[in-house]
A and B are shown apart, each in its own frame.
Chain A
Amino acid sequence: MSNRRDFMGIALGGFTALAGGIPALYAMKRSWDPLPSVKAAGFTEVDLTTIPENELMTEKWRGKPIFILKKSADMPQDPRDVIAGGARYHVSIGLCTHLGCIPAYFPGEKKFKCACHGGEFDASGKNTFGPPPKPLVIPPFKVDGNKIVLGEAGPEYLEMQKSGIA
């Protein structure tokens, strides 16, 4: 008797978990996903012609700040630089790779410093001090003459990705 009752219990429990529980969990997980409209609104075009050298410009892309820094001739060149219209730019997502605060740029020291936990990055976005574990992240970009499109992966970006920079 008790075996048949156990069997009924296990069968009911198993069926509920498989047919009800797992699909319900999947539906709940999907309901927490970012909406398609949020994912789709993701391209920003920036005109680089008017940017002065060694002065940080901040753009907004997918709600995140994007750092664009036009390098002057005396600043060291780096494979992370984006070249457009003959000039070199540092382009990165302006969030500290430690926990996501926005570092500030100090043009005199040519450094980014994060106020939250004291992290520092050089003008190429490479971490030089403090808790940040890696350089500032380079967003997907495509060079289009004197313009740059954020969110679209151009050949230069794919090249950086292949060599592990981006």
Chain B
Amino acid sequence: MAHFEKASSITEWLDQRLAITTVKKVMALEYWIPKNINFLWAMGMVLAFTFALLTISGIFLLMYYQPNVDTAFDSVNYTIMSEVGFGWLWRHIHGVAASVVFLVIYIHMFTGIYYGSYKKGREMIWLSGMLLFVVFSAEAFSGYMLPWGQMSYWAGMVITNLFEGFSPDIAGGIMNAPGLVEWIRGDYVPGQAFLSRFFMLHVLLLPLVIMGLIGLHFAALRIPHVNNQDGEEFDYQEAAKLYKEGKTKESKVIPFQPVFLSKDVFVLGVYLIFFFYLVFYHFNFAMDPVNFDPADGLKTPAHIYPEWYFLWSYEILRPFPKDPGLIAFGFAQVAFFLLPFLDKSDTVAPANRRGLFKYWFWIMIVDMIVLTVMGKLPPTGIWNHIGLVAAVVFIALFVALPWVTKNENRA
């Protein structure tokens, strides 16, 4: 057994047993962040905080929510909303955060794309981040089932039907999976088995996976370090040495705590004003009126559309016939994962200094916005045509990316 001296303070006692001083040094006091960054570098912490808000509000909702097809709707819309003290607060925080978290994820993602923070050693940061995006999507979808309203039921019906696969006459039916949809649902239609298992996924399995992935995402940052506004490569050890010698002005880095965190907290503060403004005064945008009708398996709502953050990929599915639509949709789901491998340029720099990639980036942003708007409009007439063009442009952008970026290496 190791030898322990009598400790003279609680800190020393803990330090002897858990090395808290070293942990604090490695994780915060001497975790170096480049100086040359802007407010967009605070989005990671904004996301972590929003996830904490979702977890805490979720715990309180969990105390009164009933995962039963007969009582789920009332347990949310009656018990939680009008009986439980401050139940409305948890529900509105949970609903607004579920929507806003995707807004911040998209900002975080597009920041990474704009500054080239997904390549040259940062691939694992990008891939773990994209995995987080996928699991967050599954988390959002499974949570959307729980109030068991009309939109819950029919979104559940439509999305699980995607797993039917291709039409049975394609390639002798090998791409068709009979029975898979019923297996996922545990019934012929979304019912009790479906609600219970999506409840389990939402409150246990998926949050566990998310927490693990957040750990991986943070760990992936340590070796390549976070990118900066110019994509500049510099010696972190040397910069850290300068800082520790007191030459903080000459050094290119700042410690995570307290310097970076103090700026981070400011951005977080601005964000939280916006967030709680939505929670208290504008929560309705996150509450679809159709979902205030209880689920009815014999009546489809006039229009079925997903929440705003899924509209772009929904619009890539919709304008095509079934089988090509599924292929296009599948491609849209993995396209962003491929980014580090489709980008053939060695340059890590903001998009506006990268030749053709500048145009690629802004066309991609505009196309995603067009897809999002079209996804909300009914699929008729001119809207259907614009949606089809935007979907084709999205696929073409990713197919063209290697050629768009290849020339950069020559210059």
Contacts and interface: CB of A to CB of B under 8 A. Distances in A.
Interface of A: 29, 32-35, 38, 58, 60, 62-65, 98-102, 115-118, 131-134
Contact of A58 (B182, B298, B304, B379): B298
A65 B182 contact: no
Nearest to A29: B183
B298 A101 contact: no
B341 interface: no
Given A118-B379, A118-B380, A101 B189 contact: no
Task: Classify chain B: how many residues form its interface, as a range.
Answer: 35 or more
B189 A62 contact: yes
B197 interface: yes
Interface in B294-311: 297-304
B85 interface: no
Contacts of A116: 158, 300, 303-304
Given A32-B183, A63-B188, A133-B321, A102 B299 contact: yes
Most buried by A among B197, B297, B320, B323: B297
A58 B297 CA distance: 12
B189 A63 contact: yes
B183 A33 contact: yes
Contacts of B322: 98, 131-133
Most buried by B among A33, A62, A118, A133: A133
Given A35-B186, A62-B189, A101-B158, A131 B302 contact: no
B154 interface: yes
B157 interface: yes
B187 A34 contact: yes
B325 interface: yes
Interface of B: 154, 157-158, 161-162, 167, 182-189, 191, 193, 197, 297-304, 318, 320-323, 325, 378-380, 384
Contact of A65 (B185, B298, B303, B384): B298
B297 A64 contact: yes
Given A33-B186, A115-B300, 20 more contacts: A32-B184, A33-B183, A34-B182, A34-B183, A35-B193, A58-B298, A60-B298, A62-B188, A62-B189, A63-B297, A65-B297, A99-B158, A100-B161, A115-B303, A115-B304, A118-B380, A118-B384, A131-B320, A131-B322, A133-B323
A149 to B, nearest CB: 17
Contacts of A33: 183, 186
Interchain residue pairs A-B with the least CB separation, the first 4: A63-B189, A102-B300, A133-B322, A100-B161
Nearest to B182: A34
A121 to B, nearest CB: 14
A32 B379 contact: no
A64 B188 contact: yes
B97 to A, nearest CB: 28
B229 to A, nearest CB: 44
Contacts of A64: 188-189, 297
